[in-house]
Structure 1
Amino acid sequence: MFSIGNNDYLSPFETNSIIFNSYTKEEYVDMVIDSFINVIKEVYKEGGRKFVIFSAVPLACLPYSRALKFQQTNRTGCLKKFQVFTKIHNKILPKKLIELEKTLQGFKYSYFDFFQAATDIIDHPSRYGFKEAKTACCGSGPYRGLSSCGGKRGKLKEYELCKDVRDYMFFDNVHLIEKSNLHFATLLWNGDPNMVRSCSMKSLFHQVAYPQPEEVHLSM
């Protein structure tokens, strides 16, 4: 099971890396995905046949990203510069997986559109039993989007904590609560046709991996 790309697009902003200045957005995404495809091929060489792969999440609309935008522009909303990367990533990755399925014998996968599944909750939290999908349960600053939860993650020691974590989609500025993860796991396992491509995770578990060793009969 792989979830890749999210940190590759967030971390350079957090560390003020100049890496984005060395590539176009398309080149950078291609580099991330090509590295991932090489990993899949290495796992395949070692005998891996069944893969579960997540799309990039809506990075632009995390509490972290909302707080960053508010600090930089004094405006609310999602941070578009992250949205560009995730859109390119989520357009290219499914095509690469289809190519792998055609070229690697026995390669099976379940692709989860984490971006759309999470966006649905962010846009309509009450439909899924949440009261808040923009602000985190734990943190500080706008949307509790600053990395201060627990008071041990950096210079910021003061933080706020919500009364009932079950009301919130996000626990801290980037991580989901257990209730959110259970919802996504259910979609992936059952294979919601709007969110899961190729096959459900349940179906993937029951598929026979190929190639199988030949049956050997011994005579006495």
Structure 2
Amino acid sequence: MNIDTWAVVFATLLGPIFAVQAQQFIAKRGEERQRKLWLFRSLMNTRVGTLTVEHVNALNAVPLEFHRDLEIMGQWRKYLDHLNNQNTALDVWGKLRVDLYSDMLATMAKRLDYGFDPLQVKNEIYAPRGHFEIETDQETIRRGVVELMKGERTLPLEVRSIAQDPAAMERVLALQDALAKWLNGETSPRVKIENGETRSGGTGSE
């Protein structure tokens, strides 16, 4: 058999193999794209629900689906570092969080052939004020509880009035008056002796 014949044999044998490998490669690429699309949609859908389980799971899955994309991974690490560093004022911290998050989503959108820019990601969103207030309140409560447990904060206490029993107050005042007279030597305590007689101590010095 000459070279041409061998070439025909190899082409016949390898053709189906290459075809199967190509199909597997295409299927794998399709699955990867579907996972990235799911992840992107989850992050887009939860832009106003960053405390939900869906959002947290999607954010933690970014390295699994975009680990080969250095730009997205850099933005993800920067965003995650900001989330874990809350030493700045809440309003400043919140604004920077939205900016970093929008930049990351815009880069993902570009990779997945969506025409979104950071401003669109940030502004083209329906965010009910009630949801924002709930999330803000939850963050305020969380910080307050942490500071309270660490001893960095105390609970304010304001006493407006104390309920009093007039009869009980009268007895307390009488007891205080009797004790003061005894300590000043004006009176002496009543003493009960064994034969049952009760005597009162003298008021003068003997």
Q: Which has the larger radius of gyration?
A: 2
Q: Which has the higher helix share?
A: 2
Using the size of structure 1 for normalisation, the TM-score is 0.22
Q: Which has the higher strand share?
A: 1
Which one has more relative contact order, counting CA pairs under 8 Å at least 6 apart?
Answer: 1
How does the TM-score come out when normalised to structure 2?
A: 0.23
